[in-house]
Amino acid sequence: VNGDHWIGGERVSSPTTFDDHSPIDGALIAQIARGTATEADAAVTAAANAFPAWAATPRAERARLLHAIADGVEARLNDLAIVETTDNGALLRSHLRGVMPRVAHNFRFFADWLLKLGHEDFDTRGHTNHVSWDPAGVCALITPWNAPLMLATWKIAPALAAGNTVVLKPAEWTPLTASLLADITAAAGLPAGVFNVVQGYGAEAGAALVADPRVRRISFTGSVPTARHIAAAAAANLTPLSLELGGKSPLLVFADADLDLAADLAVEQYDNAGQVCLAGTRLLVEESVAADFTARFVKRAAALKQGDPREADTDLGPNIHPVHLERVDGFVQRALADGAQALIGGGPNTDLGGLYYRPTLITDAAADSEIVNEEVFGPVLTLQTFTGDDQAVAMANATRFGLAATVVTGSAERAERISAQLVAGTVWVNCFFVRDLQAPFGGSRQSGVGREGGTWSFDFYCDLKNTVSAPWAK
């Protein structure tokens, strides 16, 4: 994989590089060009120069090129999956079966949605109103390391479909598939400068990118503290931004629930070694069934196999980076020191060494404790009990976040009533992680700003215009 930037249709190096290590075994897998304000400026310049022609490109041609990119993704699906697993440690089988096919689908979906995007004209006292979606300009997209290519293309595809040009700054811990995507877009015939990739650290390349007044849209997925810096930079230029941030989502299990289903859904929260923003990390269980639920959960969790994510029977791979593993373990050790209990797990997997952390369930933690309120972003869940619907809702909403929630119940009436009261961008009832690209996606409170998906994506990546015409003389 080429570790240089992709700017204006060419590979561009930097005077310095940084090392990219695999979380699987710590091996050095690439040296990556370390971008600064210089490369960010060059990429925005290339994108700005390419914008007029790309914005004027007919919708059908833009859609054709997005489908060609999807074809390229599918042709290199195995390569992309292997590189992504090596770079971020997520399961190879997940990348092969779901994640990389979803990358291709991201491009196809927004290409097709573009062709049907529209609003019926409407009348005002004999005048005709016509709504249109105009390309906004250069988009700065800053993406995370937990699902690098899938989450990047969730932004890239609608931005390009809308007629914008893009500068992508991938996470420095997982830059490799962004580089491969640059090759795929070039092979598909995307004009030079329409898609650019700048590698580097957030404080260097990212900060310069979001502060550039030529950037007309910023989309970021990541942490709340970083989002504050980005929002401050965007404010100086009044640049519209979309933020998908952290979560501390509840998974509510009511006494009338199918407890086997509830336990299965709860164990699923360990997916990707717990490095999922949507994960329901706070298990809230009705007191009368808590012991029964917990026994089923512990049995299922014990059956999880932790190990090399390239092996087909592995369920949990490593965490992403030594710094992150230390952060995850810090949360757990502070909770235990404060009197909480680890019903399972409670520390790194010493049998495997490296960055493998045992799936952990924390009980007896106080409602105001750090472990209950802060996003850990590792394979760590907490268990609390409630005694009625009102308390369940109060506990679920007792967080500054509001990204998602999961409700497990045998009552359709309760599901509807509880879901209506939850503060969350997405609520799943008796299921988890079912996502459709035409649905709005985003977070409430400090879990984000704005919604993307379907027409909502085009509303963000475009300047909406209403043209009002007086009646023409006969």
With beta carbons less than 8 A apart as the criterion, state whether 447 and 245 touch.
yes
3-state class (DSSP) for residue 33: strand
In CATH, what class is 5-245+443-468? Answer: alpha beta
CATH 3.40.309.10 in the chain is located at 250-429
Among candidates 112, 390, 144, 110, which has minimal Cα distance to 246?
144
Among candidates 208, 273, 263, 278, which has minimal Cα distance to 43?
208
Question: What does pTM read for this prediction?
Answer: 0.95
Per-residue pLDDT of the chain (474 residues; tens, 9 = 90+): 999 999 999 999 999 999 999 999 999 999 999 999 999 999 999 999 999 999 999 999 999 999 999 999 999 999 999 999 999 999 999 999 999 999 999 999 999 999 999 999 999 999 999 999 999 999 999 999 999 999 999 999 999 999 999 999 999 999 999 999 999 999 999 999 999 999 999 999 999 999 999 999 999 999 999 999 999 999 999 999 999 999 999 999 999 999 999 999 999 999 999 999 999 999 999 999 999 999 999 999 999 999 999 999 999 999 999 999 999 999 999 999 999 999 999 999 999 999 999 999 999 999 999 999 999 999 999 999 999 999 999 999 999 999 999 999 999 999 999 999 999 999 999 999 999 999 999 999 999 999 999 999 999 999 999 999 999 988
Q: Check residue 308 and report its DSSP letter.
A: -
Amino acid at 357: Y
Active-site annotation holds for 277 = yes
Amino acid at 109: F
Catalytic residue among 39, 84, 139, 277: 277
Active-site annotation holds for 172 = no
CATH number of 250-429: 3.40.309.10
CATH 3.40.605.10 in the chain is located at 5-245+443-468
Alpha carbon separation from 446 to 71, 215, 250, 252, 443 (Å, rounded):
37, 24, 15, 21, 7
Catalytic residue among 39, 204, 244, 452: 244
With beta carbons less than 8 A apart as the criterion, state whether 426 and 278 touch.
yes
Phi, psi for residue 453 in degrees, rounded to 5: 120, 135
